[in-house]
Structure 1
Amino acid sequence: MGSRVLRNNMLQPPTDFDGFIKTRYDALEEMVTNEEMFHEIRKALKLFQDVEKTLTKASQACQLFAVALHPAKSDLLIKIRNLCRPETTVPILLGIRKVIEADVTYMKSPLDLRNQRAFAVKSGISGMLDVARQTYRELTEVIHAHSAEVSEDYRVAASLKFDNRRMYWFRIPTVDLDMDSIPPEFINVIPKKNHIECQTLDLVKLNQRLLDTSNEIIMRSDAAIRDLVKELRRQVPPLFRVCESIALVDMISSFGQVTTTRDYVRPGIEDTLALKSARHPILDKRMASEYVPNDYYASQHHRFHCVTGCNMSGKSTYIRSVALLQIMAQIGCFVPAEFATFPIIHNIFARISAQDSIEANLSSFGVEMREMAFILKNIDNKSLAIIDELGRGTSVRDGMAIAMAISEALIDTGASIWFATHFVELARILADYPGVLNLHLASDTSVGEGGIPQLTMLYNATAGIVNDEHHYGIALARAIGMPDSFIKFAEHVADDLRKRRESSRQSSEYYKEKQRDKLVQNLYEALEEAKKSLNEEALPGYLRRLEEEFNLRLKEIDEM
């Protein structure tokens, strides 16, 4: 049941911090810090197979659940403990016990299941039901007596079996019979390898009488249970609240389990998104210490993040991580990071796949444009969007133009945008726009044996635009095993295109000065945000990193 609540929260994360998110944070923090209470809660939750399906077990388990929550001090857990108090669940359990036998449970074998169904309702509830059950017992005894007579009369070891189709039938080992002269009293004979399955005419008649009696019992029992359900309907509203509360605690306790085992931190809710050493929640579990954490920062002054990098450098994982962590924070879960603050987001949009739609008669580019049209129509300044390699499904010129137009429209919305692209020229143009922050996933190029360039992915998000002079795509094609002749020709074409582009590019002192002014303005805005959002422990490390990025960027501008 907790899984259904988790799914609903992931599809529609709450946006009320004081009413929902903060109380969940407090409850989760108390579970994590109070280890004894946490283990008692987990033990009590194991008694709930599904509260909405097993009412009797739920009523019993609620009492143990309330005891497990006795030490709770957070508002949410106290409220749930009060909802699960015995005054709510004991009357329901007593009402059930008046009608249903205490030892009734679901059985797998057909005969046991039939007997449980026949004797589930207590004696004395219905006189006609008691008479029918007495007849059922007598017929069952007659059938067993008939089985003993068959074994004695024909000197065989006939064992009585039952299934839902034939009801009672005999299984007789072949060693006890002459297969060429089976007694004519045995009917519906089915020969097997080591035995035969059969019935007698008397057994068939007894089966029919037993079936009629069983149907009468089921009809009378259902009538008694319908009356019980009618009485229990008065208790449905508090019972549903109990179900929702237990499901919520189930979800939060699962958060507590992953928080303690994966070293998550409690996020703060601010106007700024700031993450230090954040990790992808799924890859962090699969890769453990091999995963490279990254920092994230977004504010009104840095709301459009243009992420470049070579193939397989981790761009898609980087932008997906921020969306997943935002959802985790808003459903009340701690996040895998050393420090984290999030704003409250009302909409999350994603354009990350490159699949066509045959049923809609759309190519991959058509699907991409349809989804982007939906995003542009619904996005606002309370939204977060991740967009992966927009415009790759058409020509380079058209894809670049469309990506540029859509990027400008997204910047104007004021939403938090994480935009991964291979269009380096797009990143250079957008660098002059307000609110744009260029990032790239770093990689290291070295020379291996035979003078062959080698490419090593660092998976580390760094300020600035990726250096496209190293031909990362060609290096990756060489590593995969493309023939050398193709690689050399591709390098020749790439170098020629780069030289033409550089010759047409105008480099002026005015452009450099403009870039320096913007760099200083961004530094000022970053310091203002750090002053308001970061705590004393995180501030020194952040300032050192900010200084390194400022000096690196200033050096790049001087070398233009």
Structure 2
Amino acid sequence: MSLTPMMRQYYKIKERYKDCLLFFRVGDFYELFDEDAKIASKELGIVLTSRDKKHPMAGVPYHAVIPYIRRLIEKGYKVAICEQVENPSTAKGLVKREVVRVITPGTLIEEEFLTRESNYLMSIYKDKKYGISLIDISTGEFLTTTVNTFDELVAEILKFSPVEVILPRDFDNIDEIKKLVDVVHPLVENYYNLDEAKFLIEEFINNNKELNLSKESLLSVGAALKYISESLKVKHLKLYLQTYIAKEYMLLDSTTLKNLEIFKNLVDNSKRGSLLEVLDKTKTPMGSRLLKKWLQRPLLNVEQIERRLESVEELYNKSFLRENLREILKDIYDIERIASRIEYERASPKDLVALKDSLKFIKEIKKFKFNSKMLNNIVESIESLEDVEELIEKAIVDDPPINIKDGGIIKDNFSKELDELRELKNNLEKILKDIEERERAKTGIEKLKIGYNSVIGFYIEVPKSKIKLVPKYYKRKQTLANSERYKIDELDELEEKLLANDEKIKNLEYELFIYVRDKVKEKVEDIREVAKKIAELDVLSTFAEVSVLYNYTKPKVYNGYTINIKDARHPTVELNTKFVPNDIILKKDSRIILITGPNMAGKSTYLRTSALITIMAQIGCFVPAKSAVIGVVDRIFTRIGTVDDITRGYSSFMVEISEVAQILKNATSKSLILLDEVGKSTANKDGVSLAWGIVEYLHKLGAKTLFATHYHELSELEGILEGVKNYHFGIIEKDGLIEFDRKIKRGASTESYGIKIAELVLPKEVIERAYEIYNKLEKSSGDNEIVRYLAHLDINNLTPIQALVELDKLVKKCKKLLRE
């Protein structure tokens, strides 16, 4: 097939970007061809045409391309932007074109594409363990760690919610990763070269000499750097890589993150109803992102927790100070992301003005005086960056255009050369006005005027009624309905001077803007530090604000064992319903709480409340309770709810037991474990036996445990294992109806009230038959109940009085059976 030179150029470029939709600049449009055009037409709803009846094509205007690209990125496509890199009017032959940017969800730095949240690209490499790297190129944050198991990897994915994952093409669990992340890009082998990874780290990482990375981390970091540099088309990056160890913070596994609804709810996987939504009253995008990071990694260090709590306490008590601080914070732009755009030389004039307007508030913040050591250190260590503010103030107009090549960016009196060019332009424009007035006087045509368009340049326009007065030296150029347009030699000469001068002004303004941006770039690390400090002030003041708003109290956090929470409330449930507070007490002599009672009575909410309050305390926030003493917890595990995992061929019971196995394998005596209805996915005897064995194992381990169950047989463990205590949620029966009082009480529940609760929805006939069957089953199980009772009676340690009491109980049980 014969191709035009432009199409040959297109295919040559497309060959290098096969996995992208190639936006190919042609004049005022970006065009897509062949299969790319078909995809764009379908996804964007734009017209599909053809070129020479051979090549399907679709296009969008270059000045309105952003919304189209955003829609494609959100759908998981990679977009390559191919620009004309020379002026078509001066090009000899075919205009040169190059791809200047590859846009993917994880490599966004453009403000138009980003939300307030972190925008992580995750890079994964597996050998003996999993190497994980997380980079938010829009803020410069770069983290790496290793984990040992796939479940730990999943936990990190759920914590950080990456928008894109890159991994080797032969990665074992790609399908499972795709269930967690919308955009997963398998990469070819050449992204995972150890020598190249070391080279890239040496080139792009500021602190490379301080790092001691495993092979897995090295290769995950190297792949991320290669992918980003190819996407941004930059040869120089300036990044600071931080290693982190998940075990240095409270560990929250993947199941726990989901069950506790910390970042997303279980219903529609959105932020609505999550702990994050309740707490996120931040004023700045930097603060919002930092809050999520603190929730991802609750602290274990009591001193660090206490410093945060002291700061929150001061802001909580000093409402005037808190409100003033938050009033200032609300006007600060996302300077963290502006810093990144400056570093990657993508910052616009508007970005610099936003930075200047934000830095103005630093002086106000530095006036605040605090008693809290942490707050004082933050305020005192913030750099004012007055030199950056002053430079931008002198150089950039207050309301600049977005396009840095359109002119109108630089203020007067910043550049002598620019001022002279502008004065020359003003003089030329005055000359133009003088010509117009002269020609009116000379010809007697009062309505004669001078205009300009891109087709014929400067012209003289004369009404048709006055054509007879036009001099012979006027050259007709254009005929309109009511007028004629003419040229004169003097206008052509003036036009040439004006256009040349305009071009000089635009070029000089562009050069001056680049100079200013480069000077600001020298301070980019300082700007990032300011952003971090602002974020900390934002989160701490937000904790105080939320605590006042929802009546939270300061917890006492210490290195001991006990958790003692008075009138605990669930932070999200209490906002949507009338909530009944309950005490939560876990200590050495009552470290396992067995909770019985009917469905819907509040057992699961009680379990979740204990964990959420513990997490809130360990991130340094006040908590929803009358008082709270929290012995630092190293890990929180949950086993709540039952689902199948068809992809692995796991039944609901196998899922349940697998999760319990992970808990028993990884829990320590400092862990908090929440188990809900363990064993119910199998037959009753098997379930009871497994649940019994699990409780005994946890008792030996010493972990703090809340164990909700319908197996009343487990209540016997209170008399067998020291540290196991029975509690229950009951119901109130009134006039044949039931109500939940939502209060936890000492002792075991005597029944589950399953049929009673079913009465609320099931037909009467079904309920009556259920009671008949229930009574029969009760009679047949009565003997077994007495056998179990006798089996656990320790007669050697009974006093005569205690023996009579136990005998009386036994007689009553027998009489009850006979009556039935």
TM-score by length of 1: 0.70
Structure 2 distance, partners of 1:500, 1:215, is 99
Structure 1 residues 73-82 or 137-146, which shifts more? Answer: 137-146
Structure 2 distance, partners of 1:306, 1:347, is 20
Distance 1:43 1:444, change over 3 A: same
Distance 1:436 1:47, change over 3 A: same
The partner residue of 1:273 within 546, 563, 571 is 563
Distance 1:219 1:284, change over 3 A: farther
Structure-2 residue corresponding to 1:479: 760
Shift of 1:35: 1.9
Q: Does 1:80 align with 2:378?
A: yes
The structure with the largest helix share of the pair is: 1
Distance 1:245 1:484, change over 3 A: same
* Match runs of 1:288-303 below 5 Å: 290-303=578-591
The partner residue of 1:58 within 358, 377, 397 is 358
The partner residue of 1:363 within 631, 645, 651 is 651
Structure 2 gaps of 5+ residues are 1-285, 339-353, 433-449, 466-477, 488-497, 800-807, 814-820
Aligned residues of 1:14 and 1:21 also touching (Cα < 8 A): yes
Q: Deviations over 1:369-412 (max 9, x none)?
A: 33223222221112112222223333333333333333333222
The partner residue of 1:142 within 429, 449, 452 is 452
Write the letter of the residue equivalent to 2:288.
S
Write the letter of the residue equivalent to 2:568.
A
The partner residue of 1:305 within 578, 586, 593 is 593
Structure-1 residue corresponding to 2:219: none
Aligned residues of 1:281 and 1:321 also touching (Cα < 8 A): yes
Query: What SS does structure 2 have at the residue aligned with 1:82?
Result: helix
Distance 1:310 1:37, change over 3 A: same
Structure 2 distance, partners of 1:21, 1:355, is 36
Q: Does 1:46 align with 2:334?
A: no
Write the letter of the residue equivalent to 1:414.
G
Structure 1 distance, partners of 2:375, 2:690, is 51
Write the letter of the residue equivalent to 2:571.
P
Distance 1:154 1:392, change over 3 A: farther
The partner residue of 1:118 within 396, 400, 407 is 407
The partner residue of 1:499 within 774, 779, 785 is 779
Structure 1 distance, partners of 2:732, 2:747, is 15
Q: Deviations over 1:426-452 (max 9, x none)?
A: 333465223212211121223x3xxxx
Aligned residues of 2:553 and 2:626 also touching (Cα < 8 A): yes
The partner residue of 2:386 within 90, 95, 98 is 90
* Match runs of 1:346-361 below 5 Å: 346-361=634-649
Shift of 1:66: 2.1
Structure-1 residue corresponding to 2:741: 458
Distance 1:251 1:153, change over 3 A: farther
* Match runs of 1:534-545 below 5 Å: none
Shift of 1:286: 2.3
Structure 1 distance, partners of 2:405, 2:797, is 81
Q: Deviations over 1:525-549 (max 9, x none)?
A: xxxxxxxxxxxxxxxxxxxxxxxxx
Write the letter of the residue equivalent to 1:491.
Y
Structure 2 distance, partners of 1:440, 1:279, is 17
Query: What SS does structure 1 have at the residue aligned with 2:385?
Result: helix
Aligned residues of 2:672 and 2:705 also touching (Cα < 8 A): yes
Structure 1 gaps of 5+ residues are 106-111, 156-182, 187-199, 203-209, 518-554
Distance 1:379 1:134, change over 3 A: farther
Shift of 1:461: 0.8
Structure 1 distance, partners of 2:405, 2:747, is 72
* Match runs of 1:373-384 below 5 Å: 373-384=661-672
Structure 1 residues 318-327 or 137-146, which shifts more? Answer: 137-146
Q: Does 1:10 align with 2:295?
A: yes
Aligned residues of 1:276 and 1:295 also touching (Cα < 8 A): yes
Distance 1:82 1:402, change over 3 A: same
Query: What SS does structure 2 have at the residue aligned with 1:345?
Result: coil
Structure-2 residue corresponding to 1:511: 793
Q: Deviations over 1:25-83 (max 9, x none)?
A: 1111111211221111111111123231353233112222223x23x111011111102
Q: Does 1:411 align with 2:699?
A: yes
Provide the alpha-carbon RMSD of the alignment.
Answer: 4.2
Query: What SS does structure 2 have at the residue aligned with 1:333?
Result: coil
Distance 1:233 1:375, change over 3 A: farther
Query: What SS does structure 2 have at the residue aligned with 1:354?
Result: coil
Distance 1:490 1:98, change over 3 A: same
Query: What SS does structure 2 have at the residue aligned with 1:260?
Result: helix
Write the letter of the residue equivalent to 1:308.
T
Which one has more relative contact order, counting CA pairs under 8 Å at least 6 apart? Answer: 1
Write the letter of the residue equivalent to 2:331.
L
Q: Deviations over 1:98-141 (max 9, x none)?
A: 4433x036xxxxxx645996322446559689969988998998
Distance 1:497 1:185, change over 3 A: farther
Aligned residues of 1:129 and 1:220 also touching (Cα < 8 A): no
Shift of 1:146: 8.7
Aligned residues of 2:639 and 2:675 also touching (Cα < 8 A): yes
Structure 1 residues 290-299 or 248-257, which shifts more? Answer: 248-257
Shift of 1:269: 1.9
* Match runs of 1:56-455 below 5 Å: 56-67=356-367, 69-70=368-369, 72-84=370-382, 88-101=384-397, 103-104=398-399, 113-114=402-403, 118-122=407-411, 142-143=452-453, 224-270=512-558, 271=560, 272-287=562-577, 290-429=578-717, 431-446=719-734, 448=735, 453-455=736-738
Write the letter of the residue equivalent to 1:366.
M
Structure-1 residue corresponding to 2:102: none
Structure 1 distance, partners of 2:547, 2:425, is 59
Q: Deviations over 1:302-337 (max 9, x none)?
A: 222221110100111000000000011111111121
